[in-house]
Amino acid sequence: MPNVTISIDDSLLKKGRKYAQLHGTSLNSLIRQLLSKTVESKSADWLDECFRLMDRAKGNSKGEKWQRKDLYDV
């Protein structure tokens, strides 16, 4: 696995190491996980999941229709 050199403020580095230690991991592993989650996640997956859940909900308005302004009436 290639090495990468980054510059981090001393205060942030200390906080990062403390956070990693509290969570039973290394700073290296923490950075790897955060980078992986950031660059490998796809927003389209989230949207597809939302539509899948809406389809599965089987909601029924019984033909009732409303306008956008009606959604703000409390």
Dump pLDDT digits (tens) for 13-54: 999 999 999 999 999 999 999 888 877 766 667 778 888 898
Q: Is the pTM higher than 0.85? A: no
**CA–CA gap between residue 74 and residue 55 (Å, rounded):** 26
**CA–CA gap between residue 19 and residue 6 (Å, rounded):** 18
3-state secondary structure of 52: helix
Helix, strand, coil shares of the chain as percentages rounded to 5?
65, 0, 35
Spans of all domains in the chain: 10-56
